[in-house]
Structure formats: structure tokens, C-alpha cells
Structure 1
């Protein structure tokens, strides 16, 4: 399929289409610098801060992966916890068979990708609500199989014993660095995907799969690739969660609450945007640290907030800044610019049926 940029107004040559502007270039450079500086955190902050940031990075991975799957590909999964749990228990399995712990953590996402390859021919036959229910059923089936395996601890859970002999501060630093590396790698992978015409084709599938196919978009391979990428990312999050906590149980690591968390972060931050899930992850992390001890009321509160956003701000928090300031931080879309440097944007269809004046087809 040939993807072309929007055509600017025909009033002379006063307008031009641009991938980036001064804001996106400055923001991109700042994010690169921030990413590099984050590697120094274990040298200057307490162990508790390092562990908390590790948890935040895991949430960021989950939010970005679910947004890539649902926000850009239109595949609303309720079963990504299948890959989270599989990544965690693959780490346990590999360490039991002599693989060093951090190598096992690094290999677990690959195993989750292989699982996604095996499941894709089955689940990608489904659409809409059937896809959502089908992915949840797969996750529940995997949880039952793991709970029946006594070698993996059965229903009582399992510990990652390979890290018990490492000094706690050093262990948390290594886990932090590995989590940060995975997070940055997956963020870059999503940016590259969105800048390629494949990203636009995926959004066409999200909006109308049959129409996209009629225009020549190869829907099956694109959905397959995105599903596998999301499986790898969620598998990494599961393995890193185990490395950060050192203990897991099937009912928790395969629990559907993971999907609730991902949905909350993406919906509140902004479905179908790159920046929105990051904002949503930070907000959820703050709420979790502040109110998680409230038990059921905490979960009720999260649900109420998600419903309120769905009703009154369906494009999420990021839309408040992007619409009013015509702001975007990363060059993942098209922008209509005047020669004077003034940005006019162009109308693009949003996931919720609205329009955006930023010239992006993603929000």
C-alpha cells in the first residue's frame, strides 16, 4: 500500500508538510538525554527509590504495549496477562535448568514472543469482543496449566532464588538497569513503527479493517507483527516484575487486574497517542503508592476515574495539552507548517471519532 502525506492548501507555497519541528526536535533530544541520565540513578539515590522507579518503568512498558495493540492496531486484548505470567514463569523455569538469573530474565521475552507466534493464528481470527474474550480465555488456560505444574510451585507460587545471594542494593541496581534498557528499547521500537508507513497502515486497520484490506493493506501480517511485539513487551514486564519482587503466584501474575491497570493508564493518558500512556502510567503509579492500602475502595476509585474519563474526556489527559497548545513531543505524525514557522496542523481522524488539528493520524 502506498501512503502519501496530506496535501497542503493550494495558496502558493506558503505551507509545507513536516515530520518534525523545533518542539519535537528539542523534546526528542531532551528525552534522549533523560534516558541516558536515568542510568545513573542507582549511584545517587536510595535503594527504595531505585526499586520504585523499576516498578514505574514496568508500568510504562505495559501501558505502551497495550496502547500499541489497542490504540494503534485496534486489537483490544483482555488477556495480555498471559504473556506477563508466561514471561515470569519462563524465568523460573530457565533458572531451574541452570541458566543464570539475569540471562533468564533477558530470554523470557523471547519465549513470550514465541508463545505469541503460536497463539496468533488462533486469536487473530477473532475480532472485536470475540478477540477480547478469546485472549482472556487463553490467559486463564495458561494460569491453570501453570498452577497444575508442581515443578513450578503449583498454586502456592515460586521464588526467584538465583538472586538471593546477591547483595540487595546491587541486585536492585542490576534489575533497574535491565528494566530501563527494556523500556527504552521498546519505546524506540514503537516510535520506529509509527514513523514507518506500517504504523499508518495499522491505524487504517484499527479504523476499518475491511476497508484497509480493500485498499491493499496486508492486514494479517501487520496484525501478526504487532501482536508478537506486544507479547514480547508484556513478557519482559512479567520477567522484570519477578526480578523486582522475587516471588510470584499464578493467581496474581496471571490475574486480569493487569489488563485493568493497562486499560486505566491508556484511557486516562490518551488512547492512540504516544505521550498519553506515559502520563497515564505516572498517574497510576502515584495513585497506587498513595491509595493501594485502601483495598477494594482503591479499585472502585480506579474504576470510577476510568468511567469519568471515558464519558467526559475520552481522548485522555494528553489531549488537554495537545489540543490547546498544538503540542507534540515526538515526530510520529505529520504537521502542517507555515513558512513563518507557525503550525496550522491538519484534520486527522481520532480513535474516538473526533478530529485532531496536529496533523497526526494517531490522535
Structure 2
């Protein structure tokens, strides 16, 4: 049946390109409020709560940095414990020279970030499995070299003795504050980077590396930015963990288990999604708090959960939410909304 011309209404599509939505603006304000509340946890929280939250902040950093490297840069590494261990090691080494231990944390992370620059020239020549295995090999090599340092005493390890200059209560609050500040700074920095022109190049590489290079994106230079950022952030995480644990044993800090944790968090939360890394860290933290005392069975359970997610939710929890609801709380790309115009 034909509709009379007098009753027909011309319709055309109107596109609206934007980043922020009402949901994302609300999420941003909620994030600010949550951070403000977290800043006061040491004032009313128990000793155990302060320590556990500091651990959560470290997990968020680790997940966000591995997600930046693999989820956006396509650099799947099984050797990120290299930077975690070096961050702790250089903190011990710098503090032993008489530098305040908390200043040593920042200096150690800066040293690791600088060392990652020349390393990137070799590592970024590799792709896929070659890159992943090469990072693990370099991590093992660094582990052996650290053992040769007389200060470390081989696998016996040492302690961050200079922390004893601070009363236990003060030390705990400062460690918590450093962990929170580092987490917020790294997340904000990563968010700003991904929303910049460089971020557009990063996301183009994630979607299709060959196409991005064809369009003029300097793929290697862009990946180097992510490589160095991940090294710096992971080193801070290792240094903060050392400050909380006080003791440094190379086999613990250079264990591949740390990278396994990172992979688990990102896999469960959602690879290549800003919110996914944070969600995955929170889930991992909850699982560890509830089942960490189960030892080997706890690790087996983590592996089983990761396997199930790989099979049934390959895009992770946040990826599934985003796909079904179109919800993006921390948008790093652009959103195209099509509306009907009469």
C-alpha cells in the first residue's frame, strides 16, 4: 500500500559524534568521590583494612599497565615481572645509598622507565609469541643479575631497613597514600593519553596494525610509549609492594606469577577496555581475600576461572556489558549516535 504524498514525512539520519555521555559524566563524578573517600580510609579504617586497600591499589596498577600494553598495543608479555622486580630492587639499592625510602620508590620507577627505553629497541622488533617469550627470558636474566649483587645476598634477599626510621603507624599511612596517589596518577595519565592524538594512534594499532601503519601511524614509536609507561607503572607497583612487605627476595619479585595475576585480571575484566582492568583487579582482590588461604587450590581455581572466561566470555565481563548495553563509563574513543530527524 502506498502512503499518500501529503501524509509522508521525510526522515533523514542525524549523527552526533561525542565522547562523554550522561552515564560517563556520572561515573566520573562518582570516581572523584570514591577517591576522596579512599583518601580518608587511614583515619577510620583498621590496620588490616589499610593494608588490604593498599594491595588493591597495586593490583589495579598492574592490571591497568598490562592492559595498556596488551589490550591497546597488542604486546602480550609474560615477562612483566621484570619491571615489578626491578622496581623493588632499585628501591632497595637507592635507599641503601642513604635516600629516603619513599623518595627511593619514585626514583626506582624512574630508573626502570629509563632502562625500558633502550630495551624497547630490541623487544619491539619482535611480535606475538616471540615478544612474549623474549620478555620472560629478559626477566630471568635480570633475576640472575640481581642475585649477583652483594647487597641482595642471592636468593636470601634483604630488607628495606631504612623504613624503620618511620613509626609503624606513620609508615602504613604513607605507604597507603603513595599507593593511592600512584594508582590515581597512572589511571588519569593513561586515560588522558588514550584520549589524545597519540591515543587515537594507539587504538588504531589495536584495531588493525597494518591499516594504522598505512595511514601514517608510527607503530613502533607509539608502542614504545606504551612499553615505557607499562614499565614505569609496573615498577612503581613493585616498589610499593616492597615497602608494604619490607623484605626483598628476588625469586618472589621476579616470579612469573605476577604476570599471571595481571593476565587473569585483564582477561576477566575485559582486554582492551579501560574499565575492564579496574573491574578485573577488584574481582581478583575479592577472590584472593576470600580464597587466598587455600594455597595451591586457590591457584588452580584462578586458572579454571580464567579458562572459563576464555571459552564463554572472551571479551571479559566489561566487554560483555559494553556489547549488550552499549555502556562506556570511561570513554577513550568517540561515540556515534544516529538519530532520526523528521
Return the TM-score normalized by structure 1.
0.88
Aligned partners of 1:225, 1:11: CA distance in 2, in Å? 46
The answer to whether the 8 A contact 1:148-1:155 is kept is no
Q: Tell me the residue number matched to 2:224.
A: 224
Q: State the 1:11 CA deviation.
A: 5.7
Within 5 Å, give how 1:135-284 maps onto structure 2. Answer: 135-284=135-284
The answer to whether the 8 A contact 1:50-1:172 is kept is yes
Within 5 Å, give how 1:1-363 maps onto structure 2. Answer: 12=12, 14-337=14-337
What's the secondary structure of 2:165's corresponding residue? coil
Q: State the 1:298 CA deviation.
A: 1.3
Q: State the 1:13 CA deviation.
A: 5.9
The answer to whether the 8 A contact 1:74-1:203 is kept is no
Q: State the 1:300 CA deviation.
A: 1.1
Farther off after superposition, 173-182 or 20-29: 20-29
What's the secondary structure of 1:317's corresponding residue? helix
Q: State the 1:175 CA deviation.
A: 0.4
- Going by fraction, where is helix more abundant, 1 or 2? 2
Q: Tell me the residue number matched to 1:353.
A: none
Q: State the 1:147 CA deviation.
A: 1.2
The answer to whether the 8 A contact 1:81-1:253 is kept is yes
Return 5+ residue gaps in structure 2 as ranges: 1-9
Farther off after superposition, 283-292 or 196-205: 196-205
Aligned partners of 1:216, 1:114: CA distance in 2, in Å? 27
The answer to whether the 8 A contact 2:151-2:158 is kept is no
Q: State the 1:320 CA deviation.
A: 3.4
What's the secondary structure of 1:301's corresponding residue? helix
Q: State the 1:176 CA deviation.
A: 0.4
Aligned partners of 1:50, 1:313: CA distance in 2, in Å? 33
Return the TM-score normalized by structure 2.
0.93
Q: Tell me the residue number matched to 1:361.
A: none
Aligned partners of 2:290, 2:31: CA distance in 1, in Å? 27
The answer to whether the 8 A contact 1:75-1:206 is kept is no
Q: State the 1:260 CA deviation.
A: 0.4
Return 5+ residue gaps in structure 1 as ranges: 1-9, 341-363
- 1:111-161, Cα deviation, whole Å (9 max, x unpaired): 110111121111111000000000000100000111122222321111011
**CA gap 1:204/1:339 in 2 versus in 1, 3 angstroms:** closer
Aligned partners of 2:332, 2:201: CA distance in 1, in Å? 14
What's the secondary structure of 1:17's corresponding residue? strand
Larger Rg: 2
Aligned partners of 2:94, 2:17: CA distance in 1, in Å? 50
What's the secondary structure of 1:331's corresponding residue? coil
Q: State the 1:338 CA deviation.
A: 5.2
**CA gap 1:32/1:55 in 2 versus in 1, 3 angstroms:** same
